[in-house]
Each structure stands twice: as structure tokens, then as C-alpha cells.
Amino acid sequence: MAVGRSVPWLCALLLLLAAWVDLVLGVAPCDVTEYQPEDSNLCCRLCPAGQYVFKPCRVNHTAGECRVCEPGTFLAFPNGEPTCQRCIQCREGDQEVVAKCSPTSDRQCQCKKGSFYCNSVDCVENCLRCKRCPGVVLSPCNATSNTVCATETDRGRPENKRGSEFLVPWVTVSVILAVAVIVGIYWYKKKGRLVPVSPGEASSAGAQQWTLGAKRSLTGTFSLL
């Protein structure tokens, strides 16, 4: 009687054990080099880059049937995908092809010469015309960045302007010195020619002649300049 009563309990235990085994097998993770097809408990090996899964494996931990991506599509990594991704298309108006589409890589595009790619949310268009600098160019425009122009803060002043400003003080000083030397020489010569008649007349005539000589010397000097 004791044996007969234990049979139902034994059957129930076996059923629970079987359900547990099925559950474990069903959720058992696959290896990093494998994938689990939909509606399947198997782990299949990944297809290589440039190929997709045409048919999944039928035996656990084996490879299914993989096929090369069709022209215009690609898959860059080992995968368990049933289809390949479509390559992007470059815009004819403002983009050019840098790298062609292949089974293992996407097509790469860039802005044409004279324009640059703008990835800001404020940009209405992706490729914008390069800016032209009125002066010095710090960084020329390329496919990914706009032209960088030098400002007064960045470059100080233009080279020609800085050069002229550097020479102006020296030219001014040289002119002043030259005028002073010429006036001094002329005044010295005129003074040596003065012959006073009397002290009073000499001082008065000398002052008049010196004033007249200075005026003439200055007039002649500025006429030379």
C-alpha cells in the first residue's frame, strides 16, 4: 500500500524535473560567436561579415547556410541577420563618393569641394558653402569644417599694417631731426655773417635778420620736403 501511494508523487516529481530541464535548455545562452534563431532552442554559428543567414542551422552549435550580401547592401560584422543592410546614397547635388559600397562596408560620402558638412541642429542643409576670409586664413575649409578667418584679436593686425605702423615713428623722428639740423646750420651761417654797427642797432638788426633768416630757412626746408 505504501508503494502504491508513492507512485503518484514520483510521477509528479519526474514531470517537474522534465519541465525544469526543458526550461533550462530553452533559455540557455549561446556563445558570443553564436546566435539563437527565432522559434528555436538551437545555437548557430554567426555568419561572417559580408554575409547573411540564408538558412539557420539544424544541429546545435553548427553553422547554417550563409550567403554573400547582394550589390548595394552590406553587413560589417559577424552576424545572425536574415538580411543585409542597404548602403546609403550620396546626394548628387552637394555630395561626392569617398568609398564605394561593398559587402562588408557602407558607402561613404562627403561634401563636395567648396562646401563643408554642418552637423548642427540649426543647419537647414548638411553641406554649406565655405566662408571666404577678407584677410588672413587660419584654417582652410575642408569637407568637415568651415573656413576659420583671423580676427583682430587672433592675429593682432595685418603684417603690412603692422610694418607701416612700425616705420611711422622712425620716419617722423628722422624728419624732425633733419629739419632741426638744417635750421641749426643755416642759422649758424647767417649769424656768422652779421656785422653790428652799434650795440642797440646791432641787437635790433640781428634780431630782425635772425627772424628773417629762420623764416626763410624753415620755408626752404619745408619746400624741400
Taking only the tens place, the pLDDT of each residue in 64-95 is 999 999 999 999 999 999 999 999 999 988 89
Taking only the tens place, the pLDDT of each residue in 92-132 is 888 999 999 999 999 999 999 999 988 887 777 789 999 99
> Which residues have CB under 8 Å from 75's CB, separation 6+?
47, 49, 50, 51, 52, 69, 81, 84, 85, 103, 104
In which band, very low, low, confident or very high, does the pLDDT at 174 lie, cut at 50, 70 and 90? confident
Taking only the tens place, the pLDDT of each residue in 144-163 is 899 999 987 665 555 555 55
Contact 107, 77 (CB under 8 A): no
Q: Which of 163, 93, 177, 100 is nearest to 128 (CA)?
A: 93
Instruction: Write out the three cell numbers for 106.
Output: 557602407
Higher-confidence position of 70 and 220: 70
How high does pLDDT run on average in the chain? 78
In which band, very low, low, confident or very high, does the pLDDT at 188 lie, cut at 50, 70 and 90? confident
